[in-house]
């Protein structure tokens, strides 16, 4: 793990992040789009416009939302991704991800009393814009963390990315909605704070994870692969 940790520490250097960020926005980076599509088996049939000026432009591509019908439940998925963990929080307001403890105080920086959580991982092949899970508004917003550790098994072995990585804590009266960055993914754009159910509210510059902390128990979470605007609960 030591060589991997050295690599991640190198990638977390400020000037390296800036170089990577600028490189992914250049026209030169667009040359890698065909390789990216093939490597991650991208479904091009749902892409709205297949003309992209950079790799980041492709990564933040729009998709045809008619192919993503809205669920009838109270809360719908914010993104295409994989629900890797969900359930009731423990009495000490913690939950486990990949065998590691995450406490909500460290995650959010506040002592709000949450009862239920969901963790939705976005793979490199997924659509990377994220949407409103209901009709609501964010009453507060703050950023925490500076690191960009991978949100995978190796990443958890060198440090808990949920507690170290750059993240934005968006709070409504009912839940905290938390986009979390990953390796070279410290670019999270929030577009609106008042929204309709299913509406696009932001995007990742590259990759990552969304954590939702609910103040009440909404039901029994689904697990596994999920599409944006599908019901989050069975």
Task: Please tell me the distance from the alpha carbon of residue 234 to that of residue 231, in angstroms, as a whole number.
Answer: 7
Options 54, 131, 187, 221, the catalytic residue: 131
Task: Please tell me the distance from the alpha carbon of residue 186 to that of residue 167, in angstroms, as a whole number.
Answer: 8
Place of tokens 């960055």: 181
Q: How many residues can be counted in the chain?
A: 234
Given a contact cutoff of 8 angstroms between Cβ atoms, the answer to whether 90 and 187 are in contact is no
Q: Is 131 a catalytic residue?
A: yes
Task: Please tell me the distance from the alpha carbon of residue 191 to that of residue 155, in angstroms, as a whole number.
Answer: 29
Given a contact cutoff of 8 angstroms between Cβ atoms, the answer to whether 133 and 71 are in contact is no
DSSP letter, residue 89: P
Options 29, 80, 172, 187, the catalytic residue: 80
Q: Which residues does residue 63 pair with via DSSP β-bridges, in sequence order?
A: 47
- 75 by DSSP, 3-state: which? coil
Q: Is 100 a catalytic residue?
A: no
Given a contact cutoff of 8 angstroms between Cβ atoms, the answer to whether 120 and 82 are in contact is yes
Closest CA to 213 of 160, 165, 173, 161: 173
Given a contact cutoff of 8 angstroms between Cβ atoms, the answer to whether 102 and 163 are in contact is yes
Structure tokens at 145: 């963390």
Given a contact cutoff of 8 angstroms between Cβ atoms, the answer to whether 207 and 122 are in contact is yes
Q: Is 208 a catalytic residue?
A: yes
140: phi then psi, degrees, rounded to nearest 5: -155, 160
Options 29, 77, 208, 221, the catalytic residue: 208
Which residues are the active-site residues? 80, 131, 208
């Amino acid at each position: 793990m030591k060589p991997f940790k050295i690599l991640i520490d190198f990638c977390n250097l400020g000037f390296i992040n800036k170089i990577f960020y600028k490189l992914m926005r250049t026209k030169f980076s667009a040359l890698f789009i065909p390789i990216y599509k093939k490597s991650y088996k991208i479904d091009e049939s749902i892409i709205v416009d297949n003309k992209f000026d950079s790799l980041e432009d492709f990564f933040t591509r729009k998709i045809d939302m008619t192919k993503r019908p809205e669920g009838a439940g109270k809360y719908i998925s914010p993104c295409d991704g994989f629900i890797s963990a969900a359930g009731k929080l423990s009495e000490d307001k913690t939950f486990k991800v990949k065998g590691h403890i995450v406490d909500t105080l460290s995650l959010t920086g506040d002592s709000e009393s949450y009862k239920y959580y969901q963790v939705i991982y976005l793979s490199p092949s997924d659509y990377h814009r994220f949407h409103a899970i209901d009709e609501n508004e964010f009453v507060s917003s703050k950023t925490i963390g500076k690191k960009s550790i991978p949100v995978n098994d190796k990443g958890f072995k060198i440090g808990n990315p949920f507690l170290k990585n750059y993240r934005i804590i968006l709070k409504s009266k009912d839940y905290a909605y938390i986009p979390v960055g990953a390796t070279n993914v410290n670019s999270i754009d929030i577009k609106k704070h008042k929204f309709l159910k299913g509406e696009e509210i932001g995007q990742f510059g590259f990759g990552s994870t969304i954590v939702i902390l609910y103040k009440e128990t909404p039901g029994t979470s689904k697990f596994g692969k999920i599409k944006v605007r599908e019901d989050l609960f069975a």
